[in-house]
Amino acid sequence: MGFFSKKIDKKIAAYQRELIETHYAEVDNMYRQIRGWRHDYRNHIQTMKAYACNGDLEAIKRYLEELDTDLSTVDTVIKTGNPMTDAILNSKISLAKSKGINVVADAHIPVKLSFSEIDLCCIIGNLFDNAIEASIKLPEEERLIRVYMDMKNTQLYISFTNFTAGKKLSKLSGRFTSSKGGDHGYGLVRMDAIVERLGGYLSRNSEDGAFTTEILLPQELREKEQ
């Protein structure tokens, strides 16, 4: 039993490392695009000045439309007040949208986190991955993920809801099962372990047509660093 437990712990740790590396790769790619756009900012201004000197308003309009389209691909969608959370949420929202999944998010972290941002990264990453996995099974017009994060007294409240194929999911050992299995299962175990270690509360609810995960994480109230 001890050997089996250690083997599972190693697989979970390996999955956690892979998850974090994936998140950082997504975040790095997003900010690389932003840095590239900023680097070109002066060139964009010079180009539009040249069009303006020639009185070519149509060219300016076309150029602005192209810039608007380009910027929308890297624009920060969510600003929670916590940089790492912003990065993970926005990279996952971008991933979901690339798969034709609409995301409605309302997230705020008005205090400095007293627990590891890596832990929060793993929780949010798993929640998003699970929601995306379920959503892509639906027709594109029915794909929707709702995200809500905010403080409730001294606890950080996280809620993820996604629509499902219209039937309740089955439970196995207190956890809802997934058709994906494998590393996905380790992700759920890891997420549950993090919430338990932080002294938090996790609830999963499967109703007809929707699946919701709610998490409460105790949070020491400290003023955010300026």
- Whether the pLDDT of residue 181 is over 50: the answer is no
Is 224 among the domain residues?
no
Average pLDDT over residues 101-124: 87
Half-sphere exposure of 35 (CA within 13 A, CB side): 6
Span of 121-135, 150-164, 181-195 with lowest mean pLDDT: 181-195
How many domains in the chain? 1
Average pLDDT over residues 148-172: 79
Is 112 among the domain residues?
yes
Which has the closest alpha carbon to 111: 158, 84, 160, 150?
150
- Whether the pLDDT of residue 223 is over 60: the answer is no
Tell me the backbone φ, ψ of residue 209, rounded to 5 degrees.
90, -5
Of residues 30 and 4, more confidence is placed in 30
Is 225 among the domain residues?
no
Q: Which residue has the tokens 């039937």?
A: 167
Q: Which residue has the tokens 């099974």?
A: 137
Reading the block at residue 181, the tokens are: 């299995």
Q: Which pLDDT does position 153 carry in this prediction?
A: 87
Q: Which DSSP symbol is given to 109?
A: -
Is 203 among the domain residues?
yes
Is 8 among the domain residues?
no
We report the CATH number of the domain holding residue 149 as 3.30.565.10
Is 124 among the domain residues?
yes
Q: List the domain range (segments joined by +) for residue 95.
A: 77-218
The pLDDT tens digits of the residues spanning 84-104 come to: 788 788 888 888 988 999 999
Cβ-contact 154, 48 below 8 angstroms: no
Angstrom distance (rounded) from CA 89 to CA 180: 23
Is 52 among the domain residues?
no
Is 57 among the domain residues?
no
Q: Which pLDDT does position 146 carry in this prediction?
A: 95
Half-sphere exposure of 184 (CA within 13 A, CB side): 15
Please provide the DSSP assignment of 136-148 as one string. TTS-GGG-EEEEE
